[in-house]
Structure 1
Amino acid sequence: DGIILPYLDIPFQHASPRILKLMKRPGAVEKTLDRIQSWRAAVPDLTLRSTFIVGFPGETEVEFEELLAFLKEAQLDRVGCFKYSPVEGATANELPDAVPEELKDERLERFMAVQADISAARLATRIGREIEVIVDEEDEVGTLARSHADAPEIDGVVYLEGVFDLQPGTRLKVLVEEADEHDLWATPV
């Protein structure tokens, strides 16, 4: 009776094989890009979400640029990014070449700017499409809903401006009319 949504959340963390090895994570970036292509070929409506870390100890500008190149090629739908920070007991705390905080901040900003452009372009492809949403809540402007591509509290929402009196949990079809880098605006059909 369950429903399987076409949504994968896979924490890729980085794209540099060396940094991934330091993180003690698998590092076959080429295979990762091939997998992404095959997943999208098999499930065209698939939403891919991931998380990344910038400023890991020893991360060079070249490795950071590798990460940006991966991001551009992978064209992920939803992405979170965090600055590396020491965690009590983590072996990474002992690694040399800590990245200065101001450089971590700058890399995070650059990373998120690239992803904002990718996300805006991907969401723009939904304009003119009919999608199913589920109602979350109502505010003073209208109804906030989610599509299968929107995890609660971490992804964007679908705004139904001027639409009121829909109960949370209601499912309905909407026509997407606008998009930005995070959210969609739609009207019921």
Structure 2
Amino acid sequence: TLARIKKWREICPELTIRSTFIVGFPGETEEDFQYLLDWLTEAQLDRVGCFQYSPVEGAPANDLGLEPVPDEVKQERWERFMAHQQAISSARLQAKIGLEMDVLVDEVDGEGTVARSWADAPEIDGSVFIDSTSVKPGDKV
């Protein structure tokens, strides 16, 4: 809930919250989808993924008797969702510019060092680039 997220951030201001959502679940209305976008605006999650619903053999959702959302509507909602969340994530990242934080070194080559913060998943999230090559993978700098 939003109250829980607010409390977590009061306790740990540097908290990074990650979640994944599905758009186009059978029966989803435009009103439902707008509610989700409004919730994202309030929640200000840091890292978010989104998938379009697709039926899976044997899934209980298949037996709910709800109207399927057309593929073109799912695609359009996914695009709106991603654009909406990209703006939120970008603003949250911009707020970190100028902060000093520990990073974990992933890779060192002749051009420099690639590292990531404790909040970043390798190969999914962003990286931190350091000009120094005097460190080794696994170092915390």
Q: Is TM (by shorter chain) over 0.5?
A: yes
- The 2-side partners of 1:43 and 1:98 are apart by 40
Query: Which one has a larger percent helix, Structure 1 or Structure 2?
Result: 2
Q: Which secondary structure state, in structure 1, belongs to the residue aligned with residue 82 of structure 2?
A: helix
Q: How many residues align?
A: 140
Whether 1:104 aligns to 2:84 is no
8 Å Cα contact 2:107-2:137 kept in structure 1: yes
Whether 1:58 aligns to 2:27 is yes
Unaligned runs of 5+ in 1: 1-31, 173-189
Change (3 A) 1:111 1:139: farther
Aligned-residue Cα RMSD (Å) equals 1.6
Deviations 1:119-168 (A, max 9, x none): 111011111111110011246753221101112233222233x4435321
Question: Is 119-128 or 163-172 further displaced after alignment?
Answer: 163-172
Q: Percent identity?
A: 61
Structure number with the bigger relative contact order (C-alpha 8 A, sep ≥ 6) is: 2
Change (3 A) 1:103 1:141: farther
> Which one of the candidate residues 78, 81, 105 is aligned to 2:47?
78
Q: Which secondary structure state, in structure 2, belongs to the residue aligned with residue 128 of structure 1?
A: coil
Query: Which one has a larger percent strand, Structure 1 or Structure 2?
Result: 1
Using the size of structure 2 for normalisation, the TM-score is 0.91
Using the size of structure 1 for normalisation, the TM-score is 0.69
- The 1-side partners of 2:59 and 2:51 are apart by 16
8 Å Cα contact 2:27-2:69 kept in structure 1: yes
